[in-house]
Amino acid sequence: MSGTYLGMPAFPKAAHEAVHDATLRGNLRHATHTIRAKRAKAVAEVSDWDALREAGKRIKDHTLRHLDRYLVQLEASVTAAGGTVHWAADADEANRIVADLVRATGESEVVKVKSMTTQEIGLNEALEAEGIRAYETDLAELIVQLGRDRPSHILVPAIHRNRGEIRDIFRKEMSEWGRPAPEGLTDTPAELAEAARLHLREKFLRAKVGISGANFMVAETGTLVVVESEGNGRMCLTLPETLISVVGIEKILPTWQDLEVFLQTLPRSSTAERMNPYTTMWTGTTDGDGPSTFHLVLLDNGRTDTLADEVGRQALRCIRCSACLNVCPVYERAGGHAYGSVYPGPIGAILSPQLRGVTSEIDASLPYASSLCGACYEVCPVAIDIPEVLVHLRERVVEGGQVTSNGNKVVLKPAKGHAAERAAMRAARWAFSRPGALRAGQRLVSRSRRLHPRSLPGPGKAWSGTRDLPAVPKEPFRDWWQRTNGGMDGKGAAK
Amino acid sequence: MSSRERILGRVRRALADVRQDEPSYDQAVPRDYLREHGDRSVGETVDLLAENLADYRAVVHRCTAEDLAATIAGMLAARGAKTVLVPRGLDLEWLQATDAERIADRAESTAHELDQVDSVVTACAVAVAETGTIVLDGGPDQGRRRITLVPDHHICVVRVPDQVVSSVPQALERLDPGLPLTWISGPSATSDIELDRVEGVHGPRTLEVVLVGGQSSADVTS
């Protein structure tokens, strides 16, 4: 994934800094609570939501379980419709393919539709190194790009910024990239949107190359689908002569009919609308309408490794709606940057460690960035059991074991820093299988309770710094049970 | 080995646990969700379309076929439009009453030239009542995709009730995936600033939809 995030501190450290930023917490709280209520209302309008959710889950699961067949079918349909299909095993290969395609047009700038996949592979930086300037055209991506910032939300990458901060960024930075911000720009959202319209219009009108991702690809017909709100997507998808779409291999749907499920669940889960303002569907090229050249780059970049994990592969059902971020108590407080990936929040906590592996400090910490409350699972429109995958990945971090990395089966060593956890689990296993030893140990702990410290020593100190240690009763439960005949003797508990 | 073979090989190895006798696509996917939501008469479906279009800030007009030219002329005049883009196959009677200069939808026009045009008038392929959506498929009376994108004012004529369906599943049944499709639900909007919806970014900031029927809407029933 993107080099931008290499060397990120582990989640607890990054989150610790974020929760002390009062502005950030206020911005996040306001935005996530606004969208939460709206989503609930939009979902309640549809009486068959559960059936749609189940159908979406089944379609995605079926597709993933026969992905090779559908990839080959998609390639044939796109090619028959006039497109060219490329395959990229990793980020570097995808970036190289795109850079070569842009260079072949003779252009040195491109306009981009908001795309998680191109963020993931660090395309903008790779193009910059080749002397090609990529202009982000989604309003939030523009705010992030102008502010030399990183995205912090899947749907609304600038969610950590409030209107005042956005006005300041526009005033200061727009002139560096093109048309300056209008004189006397205020912080009303309508004026800020107008400033973005004026700034980007000249770029759209002269653009020769557009770059996008896609929300869905239909294997049967070769159709690609992009859902959006602002019209920047339509600009990039229809005005340029050349269109290059970089799409993860998991974005396939088998049939045209399958869109009827996701075009109902995605907008309501995402922006909490009955339907997003604009959806573009294109199949290859059309004579005299839109780009005359279309390239599709199919990206693996860790997806097949994820597919090899029978528990973890359900993360590939994700349609990037971001509903799980908006309901997550951890995301609401820590913000997106702490997750050290373009995929923040609960879905990021299971997607990033699978796409990248759990060898780095940040990726090994992500499965722990959750209280396992399960709100993410409740709202997920494709029913990804995020808590289940989190627990599965925690086990992988602590115990190690066999995983697939770059297509090869490797055995992962248990992670450092979990030695105490492993030792405790081993001790528990030993004691629970020896009732005599357990009884002796419990009695010892009960009788020595006056000597117990109020906080744990050594590595346990951080844990007990914010928690009360449980009080140990005077008498172990099993002794009490035996002595009182299960409480039937009326002698009550030992005082 | 090509990357194509490498990726397909990885996929196949990753799916070693998938058995040959897995349920087929038809068996694996339940379709027990609804084809449409609610039980409405044809007239009520058209009313719902109007309501949902307006809810997302499209301006909705209703008129009879005889009044259509006058209605369009009135909208262009109210806007002060001096020029109007016209798709190749648009029914020219629709523009009989306006004196705005007609600009043809031509392949040679540049995006900059389109940016100078005030308004565009098109028909549509289908409209979806439950979501307040109109869909264009690039047909002769709708033109190239860019003509409904660059000008700031789009007038879209929907023939009711023929072109109206209740739901997204019904709309997909009517559409041809081989055509370039644009689904439009209200004017361009963004929720990127504090997750508040603001209308009007890059697409047309004013979307006017004319629901035109053979009879006045009060008479349209199932």
- Number of Cβ pairs < 8 A linking chain A and chain B: 259
Q: How confident is the model at residue A4 (pLDDT cuts 50, 70, 90)?
A: very low
CA distance B96 to chain A (A): 27
Radius of gyration of chain A (CA): 26
- Which of the residues B195, B197, B198 would you substitute to probe the A interface, choosing the one with the greatest number of A C-beta atoms within 10 Å? B195
pLDDT (average), residues B112-138 = 98
Decide if B30 and A54 are in contact by the 8 Å CB cutoff. Answer: yes
**Average pLDDT over chain A, rounded to an integer:** 92
For residue B47, tell me if it sits in a domain. Answer: yes
| Closest CB from B8, B33, B183 relative to A55 | B33
Decide if B185 and A259 are in contact by the 8 Å CB cutoff. Answer: no
pLDDT of residue B218: 45
**pTM of structure:** 0.91
Residues B114, A280: Cα–Cα separation, whole Å: 20
- The answer, yes or no, to whether residue A66 has pLDDT greater than 70, is yes
pLDDT (average), residues B116-122 = 98
B135 three-state secondary structure: strand
CA distance A140 to chain B (A): 5
pLDDT (average), residues B179-205 = 89
For residue B44, tell me if it sits in a domain. Answer: yes
pLDDT of residue A424: 82
- The answer, yes or no, to whether residue A278 has pLDDT greater than 70, is yes
Q: Which residues, in sequence order, are CB contacts of B166 under 8 Å at separation 6+? A: B36, B37, B38, B40, B45, B48, B128, B129, B130
CA distance A87 to chain B (A): 5
- The answer, yes or no, to whether residue B69 has pLDDT greater than 80, is yes
pLDDT of residue A2: 40
With contacts defined as CB-CB under 8 Å, which chain B residues touch A159?
194-195
Answer whether CATH 3.40.1160.10 is correct for domain A3-299: no
pLDDT of residue B20: 85
Decide if A143 and B192 are in contact by the 8 Å CB cutoff. Answer: yes
CA distance B199 to chain A (A): 8
Decide if B192 and A288 are in contact by the 8 Å CB cutoff. Answer: no
Q: Which domain holds residue B124?
A: 38-216
Q: How confident is the model at residue A493 (pLDDT cuts 50, 70, 90)?
A: low
What are the extents of the domains in chain A?
3-299, 419-483
Nearest CA in chain A to B108: A288
pLDDT of residue A492: 53
What is the value of ipTM here, to two decimals? 0.95
Length of chain A: 495
- Which of the residues B10, B48, B148 would you substitute to probe the A interface, choosing the one with the greatest number of A C-beta atoms within 10 Å? B10
A188-197: pLDDT as tens digits: 999 999 999 9
| Cis status of the peptide bond prior to B30, with omega within 30 of 0 | no
With contacts defined as CB-CB under 8 Å, which chain B residues touch A235?
149, 202
- The answer, yes or no, to whether residue A463 has pLDDT greater than 90, is no
With contacts defined as CB-CB under 8 Å, which chain A residues touch B197?
271
Please check whether residue A249 is in contact with residue A119, taking contact to mean a CB–CB distance below 8 angstroms: no
Q: How confident is the model at residue A465 (pLDDT cuts 50, 70, 90)?
A: confident
- The answer, yes or no, to whether residue B213 has pLDDT greater than 80, is yes
pLDDT (average), residues A364-375 = 95
- The answer, yes or no, to whether residue B216 has pLDDT greater than 60, is no
- The answer, yes or no, to whether residue B220 has pLDDT greater than 80, is no
For residue B174, tell me if it sits in a domain. Answer: yes
Q: Which residues, in sequence order, are CB contacts of A74 under 8 Å at separation 6+? A: A85, A217, A218, A219, A222, A252
Q: Which two tokens stand for residue A7?
A: 């060397």
| Closest CB from A256, A282, A407 relative to B10 | A407
If one compares A31 and B65, the residue with the highest pLDDT of the two is B65
If one compares A147 and A489, the residue with the highest pLDDT of the two is A147
**Average pLDDT over chain B, rounded to an integer:** 94
B27-38: pLDDT as tens digits: 999 999 999 999
With contacts defined as CB-CB under 8 Å, which chain A residues touch B25?
62, 254-255
Nearest CA in chain A to B2: A87
Decide if B188 and A305 are in contact by the 8 Å CB cutoff. Answer: no
Nearest CA in chain B to A166: B193
CA distance A387 to chain B (A): 23
Burial class (CB in 10 A: 0-12, 13-18, 19+), A397: buried
- The answer, yes or no, to whether residue A307 has pLDDT greater than 90, is yes
Q: Which residues, in sequence order, are CB contacts of B5 under 8 Å at separation 6+? A: none
pLDDT of residue A462: 76
In chain A, what percentage of residues exceed pLDDT 70? Answer: 97
pLDDT of residue B149: 97
For residue B150, tell me if it sits in a domain. Answer: yes
pLDDT (average), residues B170-192 = 95
pLDDT of residue B221: 39
The total number of structural domains that make up chain B: 1
A75-90: pLDDT as tens digits: 999 999 999 999 999 9
B155 three-state secondary structure: strand
For residue B5, tell me if it sits in a domain. Answer: no
- The answer, yes or no, to whether residue A460 has pLDDT greater than 90, is no
Decide if B111 and A239 are in contact by the 8 Å CB cutoff. Answer: yes
If one compares A427 and A203, the residue with the highest pLDDT of the two is A203
For residue B124, which amino acid is it? C
> Which of A218-227, B4-13, B194-203 comes out lowest in average pLDDT?
B194-203
Decide if B202 and A234 are in contact by the 8 Å CB cutoff. Answer: yes
Q: Which residues lie across from B83 on neighbouring strands?
A: B101
pLDDT of residue B222: 36
pLDDT (average), residues A310-324 = 97
Q: Which two tokens stand for residue B124?
A: 């549509």
| Closest CB from B4, B33, B185 relative to A51 | B33
Q: How confident is the model at residue B217 (pLDDT cuts 50, 70, 90)?
A: very low
Query: What does the angle CA B49 – CA A382 – CA A315 come to, to the nearest 5 degrees?
Result: 145
